[in-house]
A = this chain, B = another copy of it.
Amino acid sequence: METVSDIASSILNQFQKPTLAFLIGGMVLAAARSRLEVPEAIYKFIVALLLLKVGMSAGMSVRSADLMALLVPAVMAIAVGVGIVLLGTVTLTRIRGVAPIDGYATAGLFGAVSASTLAAGMAVLETEGIAYEGFIGALYPFMDVAALITAIVLARMATARRVAAAGVSPDGTMVLGGGRPAAAPGQPGKPGLLKTILLDTVRSPAISALFLGLAIGLLSKPESVYQSFYEPLFRGLLSILMLIMGMEAWARLSELRKVAHAYLVYGLSAPIIHGLVGFGAGLIAHHLTGFSPGGVILLSVMAASSSDISGPPTLRGALPEANPSAYVGTSTGIGTPIAILSIPLWVALADLTIGLG
């Protein structure tokens, strides 16, 4: 009973969260034609700070984890993150009318992880008295970063291929858009393309900031600056980013009219399918290394969740052409509530297959 009310209050909180309030606020301002704007310089700086924080936080949690015990579950987490995005490639992005870049961005967000959904999952396990490994928090960046990078690289390759197919000269700026200086993507189809896009992705401001944060978290001791600056400012800066994304989402909402049903179906079904993928990967780790049933459940919860923290700034920074109405709307509006609702499913499934304690 407590679990049911926990889940209900998790969902309710999701809809009263400032994150969503600022997103809707931005849409209302855009609809009312307000002249409020966040200057470009501020926007760039906010994205850099958010991703430095996300990276540092992940790096510090990996640094303090037992790296040997982490190895197999981390490989599984990476595989699940990549797999979810590949699954999106053969489903969402194939639907007529869905812009490939929007499809990849949405799949990337569903492959990435929601820290708050994961926290809800941990709360359920604690209520039920089910044990899990202490390093679970350190697994999350592996799935998260793998999914986001895969989605960004696939989206950029699709853009490059489409440009080549259309016979347009593969000029860097036109192909990769967003007005940012970009390496020329080489001849499409040639083996150099993937390498060019990978390098270009790693050099993009968003991914650079994420990796820099990861490296600083892993290799130095940024705790003092993290706790005095990056951590306390995070929620507020995210609220501003949500405001910006809401304004933009409103401006581009009409693009989605014809394909809204595709996002609806994806948002409703993806968390369950992804959770099953995560459960399967967890079972393999369970049989290989004795990964606990609680750990298997939490790997499923991570896979079922879609990112509300690391994902939006990363995608907004690295794929500025993608439509936030599609990916943020599908994820925050549909995917996250379904992911929270599905938590008891993974508990029941673990009980049926490998037993709980």
Residues in A lying within 8 Å of B, measured CB to CB: 13, 16-18, 20-22, 25, 28-29, 32-42, 44-45, 48-49, 180-182, 202-205, 208-209, 212, 215-216, 219-222, 224-226, 228-230, 232-233, 235-240, 243
Contact = CB atoms under 8 A, between A and B. Distances in A.
Contacts of A181: 35
Given A41-B39, A225-B18, A239-B225, A34 B208 contact: yes
B239 A235 contact: no
Contacts of A221: 13, 16-18, 21
A75 B137 CA distance: 52
Nearest to A239: B225
Given A35-B204, A229-B232, 11 more contacts: A18-B216, A21-B219, A25-B215, A35-B181, A35-B205, A36-B205, A38-B48, A41-B41, A49-B240, A225-B239, A229-B235
A181 B18 CA distance: 30
B236 A233 contact: yes
Contacts of A216: 18, 21-22, 25
B220 A20 contact: yes
A14 to B, nearest CB: 11
Contacts of A180: 35
B239 A229 contact: yes
Contacts of A224: 18, 235
A220 B19 CA distance: 10
A29 B208 CA distance: 7
